[in-house]
Amino acid sequence: MLHRLEKEESFMHKGLRKQLIEELCEKGIKDERVLEAMGRIPRHYFLDPAFERIAYEDRAFPILAGQTISQPYTVAYQSQFLEVKRFDKILEIGTGSAYQACVLAEMGAWVYTIERQRQLFEHNNDFFYLKHYPHLKRFYGDGFEGLPSFAPFDKVIITAAAPFVPPKLVEQMKTGGIMIIPVDVDDEGSSQQMKRITKTASGYKEEMLDHFSFVPMLGGKGKN
């Protein structure tokens, strides 16, 4: 119910968000468009009211269906390496709270985002803030399958720990397109290495980036 109600933000929220952006700069985020987009989006809208006063701390928080809203640094990091351009057609796997999708949409991208957890997908049906982004399209489905009927995509971003680079998602990219994906470094899935995949005419090339920790990317549709 709270998700449906328009909210206002206070000077406190704006001040805390400004501090967060300064912290992201200190941690190495240089893309001004990423910083400006995150500086405009009220992160506390995406969280339970219990977290409102700490919503701008640089850490992840729990959301519905046992998932998390990513740490702001992680959102900024992935967005920066995605090299988002205005009017890019971007496929996101793992809508979650929709915060990452809104950052991309705020940067001028056309975002197609898939969520496998029905509870999360339906929860966002009523989220008033998503009405700000008419070019953000949400789908309930299996992220490993992508959205072939909407392909090809300029960019693909995965916001969960993948066991491997999904071949169907590579197929749905344009030649020269970029994918940002955290891939498990061991069988336990306790840590992932971020990779930047660039599609070529004959396949793709990989660039190894930093290590992160994500919730696992699962196949199929969640039943609840």
Non-local (6+) Cβ contacts of 191 within 8 A are 184, 185, 211, 212, 213
pLDDT above 60 (res 1): no
Share of the chain above pLDDT 70, in %: 96
Distance between CA 75 and CA 39 in Å, rounded?
A: 12
pLDDT above 60 (res 193): yes
Tell me which of 70, 149, 190, 191 is the catalytic residue.
Answer: 70
Average pLDDT, the chain: 94
Mean pLDDT computed over 80-107 = 98
Neighbours of 137 (CB within 10 A): 15
Mean pLDDT lowest for which of 5-9, 16-20, 125-129, 213-217?
Answer: 5-9
The pLDDT confidence band at residue 188, using thresholds 50, 70 and 90, is confident
Distance between CA 74 and CA 214 in Å, rounded?
A: 10
Q: What letter represents residue 178's amino acid? A: I
Residues forming a β-bridge with 189: none
pLDDT at 187: 73
Mean pLDDT computed over 144-161 = 97
Under 8 Å between Cβ of 82 and 107: no
Q: Is 70 a catalytic residue?
A: yes
